[in-house]
């Protein structure tokens, strides 16, 4: 039977679809749709009236440097509702359409957080993508002791932070979310390699979380003030850390950044998650301070790849020669 593709550009038009992957969900679509600078599009593959796959594509404008550029990316390779042996074929249809649609309008196309490194390899190559080695860090949190493989120094920091009066809670009010965003914006202003969405992302995230439970915003408080926090998405049995920060220079003895992550991990375990993953573990450079920070929570470093395609053909061909 012929595979038919349908494109949805507005959340109100998306019908009820199967699936549990939050990165290809209507809930995440709604959050991004309400965030300035983002434009989500959902591609749905069907046979007859039956959906057999879907792919959430996210275009983000970047106003840094001169003018602005845009990139379009996908988390993973989609979600499928057909036999395993047919999934790559469906992905081929989605990838081909995705590439034709965005290769001229976006400077960079990217597939990140690939679960199966070899999935769709020949189709990526056929569409002129090139792979770059990337790292993922995943914690197993289903053991009897959550801190089983955590470093001794990290355990001491958590204990001291709590003893000195810091506490972790779930952000529920608009004032708390505003205070969290102000702290996060100040923290990220010096991180030129990290992008922070508009406040409306976090406001919409909190709203969708209260409706569908796709994630939580955690805040660290000290004497009523928000001094740290984290944002987590939940998908299946895994919690994904999207953002985290702490005012470590202002409150060095409270370890707010550490407590934010610890609070998110504790909540995830208590609510049935078996794994906790840090989305941005970075390139496999020998020295990377953020990766050193998250590894002390006891996770395992896993090697994976991201697939890229650059708008300029001459540059894309050069990068293919370098990375293939």
pLDDT at 68: 61
pLDDT at 293: 84
Distance CA(181)–CA(187), nearest Å, equals 10
Q: Parallel, antiparallel, or unpaired for β 300-310 and 108-112? A: antiparallel
Instruction: Show the tokens assigned to 230.
Output: 């984290």
Instruction: Show the tokens assigned to 148.
Output: 């089983």
Distance CA(218)–CA(230), nearest Å, equals 5
Indicate the DSSP class of residue 12: G
Instruction: Show the tokens assigned to 216.
Output: 């939580």
Distance CA(78)–CA(100), nearest Å, equals 17
In CATH terms, the fold of domain 4-127 is: Aminopeptidase (3.40.630)
Distance CA(308)–CA(116), nearest Å, equals 16
Indicate the DSSP class of residue 50: E
Pick the CATH number of 137-303 from 3.40.630.30, 3.40.190.10, 1.10.1740.10, 3.40.50.11540: 3.40.630.30
State the Rg of the chain over Cα.
20
Distance CA(260)–CA(12), nearest Å, equals 34
Query: What are the pLDDT tens digits along the chain (324 aa)?
Result: 689 999 999 999 999 999 999 999 999 999 999 999 999 999 999 998 899 999 999 999 876 544 468 999 999 999 999 988 899 999 999 999 999 999 999 999 999 988 888 899 999 999 999 999 888 889 999 887 888 788 899 999 999 999 999 999 999 899 999 999 999 999 887 765 678 899 999 999 999 887 778 999 999 999 999 999 999 999 989 999 999 999 999 999 999 999 999 999 999 999 999 999 988 766 666 666 778 888 889 888 888 889 999 999 999 999 999 998
Distance CA(294)–CA(1), nearest Å, equals 47
Q: Is 59 in contact with 107 (CB distance < 8 Å)?
A: no
Residues of the chain with CATH 3.40.630.30: 4-127, 137-303
pLDDT at 67: 47
Residues of the chain by 3-state class (helix, strand, coil), percent to 5: 35, 30, 35
pLDDT at 66: 44
**pTM score of the predicted model:** 0.92
Element (H, E) at 181: helix 174-188
How many CB atoms sit inside 10 A of residue 83's CB? 9
Q: Is 254 in contact with 225 (CB distance < 8 Å)?
A: no
Three-class secondary structure of residue 105 per DSSP: coil
């Amino acid at each position: 039977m012929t595979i038919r593709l349908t494109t949805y550009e507005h959340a109100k038009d998306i019908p009820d679809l199967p699936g549990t992957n939050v990165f290809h969900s209507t809930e995440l679509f709604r959050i991004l749709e309400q965030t300035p600078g983002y434009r989500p599009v959902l591609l749905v593959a069907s046979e007859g009236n039956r959906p057999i796959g879907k792919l959430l594509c996210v275009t983000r404008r970047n106003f840094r440097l001169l003018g602005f550029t845009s990139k379009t990316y996908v988390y993973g390779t989609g979600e499928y509702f057909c036999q395993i042996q047919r999934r790559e074929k469906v992905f081929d249809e989605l990838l081909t359409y995705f590439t034709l649609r965005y290769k001229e309008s976006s400077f960079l196309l990217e597939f990140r957080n690939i679960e199966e490194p070899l999935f769709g390899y020949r189709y990526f190559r056929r569409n002129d993508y090139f792979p770059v080695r990337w790292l993922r860090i995943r914690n197993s949190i289903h053991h009897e002791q959550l801190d089983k493989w955590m470093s001794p120094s990290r355990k001491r920091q958590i204990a001291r932070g709590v003893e000195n009066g810091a506490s972790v809670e779930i952000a529920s009010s608009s004032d708390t979310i505003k205070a969290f965003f102000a702290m996060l914006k100040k923290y990220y202003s010096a991180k030129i390699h990290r992008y922070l969405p508009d406040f409306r992302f976090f406001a919409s995230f909190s709203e969708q979380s209260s409706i569908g439970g796709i994630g939580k915003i955690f805040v660290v408080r000290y004497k009523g003030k928000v001094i740290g926090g984290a944002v987590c998405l939940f998908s299946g049995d895994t919690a994904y850390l999207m953002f985290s920060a702490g005012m470590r220079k202002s409150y060095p003895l409270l370890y707010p950044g550490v407590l934010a992550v610890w609070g998110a991990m504790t909540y995830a375990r208590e609510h049935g998650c078996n794994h906790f993953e840090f989305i941005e573990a970075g390139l496999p450079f020998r020295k990377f301070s953020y990766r050193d920070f998250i590894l002390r929570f006891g996770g395992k470093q896993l090697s994976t790849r991201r697939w890229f395609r650059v708008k300029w053909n001459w540059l894309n061909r050069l990068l293919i020669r370098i990375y293939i």
